[in-house]
Amino acid sequence: MQFLSAFTYGFMSRRGFTSVDDEWKKSMDALFSRTGSDTLLLPVASLQDHAYSTKIDWTTPDVMGEEDIRNCIAHARELGKKVILKAMVNCRDGYWRAYINFFDSYVPCEPQWGDWFRSYTDFNLYLAKIAQDTQCELFCVGCEMVGTDRRAEEWRALVQAVRKVYAGPVTYNCDKYQEHNVSWWDCLDVISSSGYYPIENIAAEFDRIDQVRKRFGKPFLFMECGCPCRQGSEHIPNDWTHGGALDIDVQTRWYKAFTDEVLRRDWIDGVGWWDWSARLYPIEKAMENDGYALYGKPAEQVLLDFNKKIQARG
């Protein structure tokens, strides 16, 4: 598998955002020119009302529409880039998607796994058709769905349904620390996970993941990873709510440690960084931004240097 140097773009953009103006194009152009990435990672985040809702909504104005998806992919193609299309779901009440969960045994009047998977499969099929039409290099069926991971047979059925629509390789983005807990990697083409690992544990976590991908004999890539610019975030890069004081160097150190470790592991087949907005903040404000964004920050140069080394490696 050829290394995919991907960047997550446009997360939670609203329907019609590509029709308002050309700012989204300028942002995507900057993403590739400033980071050296070669792959657009486009997440489409559908919505359900809460963690025990069984209806998934991707037609709401709060979710990018099919025209937006196709426009983004078309512009990436114009730039000569590859594309990963990624299905996601968020809860409107703010609970993290990892908490989506239902009773394993049938209980009358309670929400059922079957109802949720039917709705989520429909969403995946909608995106899989777009992925097929646009010849995406990779399709991701979900992200960090820890509460659902044990439902192996339902996931297998979903993947089988997707394969009837999309002919390319399929993956699932498990959450950090969960790589060894997913039992159904065998039905997928690629193992992927969120690599938000503490700076002091990156090497050890990579060693653990290596054993998982060896056991299943599959390629591996990080579908998500990154670090905010806050004091202490290098130790808990997954915690987007961490309230440490602004510290741009934290992100720079974490990116350097993570990319150095990736370069030592020739079995890692790609990295998807988090994340790049479709509408950028003014670059003069970059050093005031304490989030995951790289635009205008020193970590941007770290990533550009990393991508040059990846390209030189061939």
Q: What is the pLDDT of residue 105?
A: 87
CA 112/CA 119 separation, integer angstroms: 11
Contact, 227 vs 255, CB < 8 A?
yes
Q: What is the sign, positive or negative, of the torsion defined by CA atoms of 302, 248, 281, 296? A: negative
H helix runs in 135-286, sequence order:
152-163, 202-216, 248-263
pLDDT at 108: 87
In Å, how far are 55, 143, 155, 177 from 146, measured between CA atoms? Answer: 18, 9, 12, 10
Torsion of CA 145, 149, 58, 76, to 10 degrees: 70
pLDDT score of 265: 97
pLDDT of 311 reads: 94
Whole-model pTM: value is 0.97
User: Is 270 strand, coil or helix?
Assistant: strand
SS3 88: strand
* pLDDT for 314: 75
The tokens for 282 are 């003014």
All structural domains of the chain with their residue ranges: 4-313
Return the DSSP state at 246.
Answer: B
DSSP annotation of 52 reads T
pLDDT averaged over 10-residue windows placed end to end, the chain, 314 residues: 96 98 98 98 98 97 98 98 98 95 88 96 98 98 98 98 98 98 98 98 98 98 98 97 96 98 98 98 98 98 98 88
Q: Which of 35, 41, 36, 110 is nearest to 82 (CA)?
A: 41
184/149 Cα distance (integer angstroms): 9
Strand residues in 238-300 grouped as ranges (E): 268-276
* pLDDT attached to residue 308: 98
- What does the pLDDT read at residue 119? 98
3-state secondary structure of 97: helix
Which residue has 């993570």 as its token pair?
258
Distances, alpha carbon 97 to alpha carbons 26, 49, 210, 212, in Å: 31, 11, 26, 24
Domain 4-313 grouped into CATH 3.40.1260.20: no
Quickly tell me which residue has 């609203």 as its tokens: 14
**311: number of CA atoms within 13 Å, CB side?**
12
Distance, in Å, from the CA atom of 5 to the CA atom of 303, rounded to the nearest integer, reads: 10
Sign of the dihedral through C-alpha 32, 42, 92, 171: negative
Residues counted in the chain: 314
Residue 146 in contact with residue 173, Cβ under 8 Å?
Answer: no
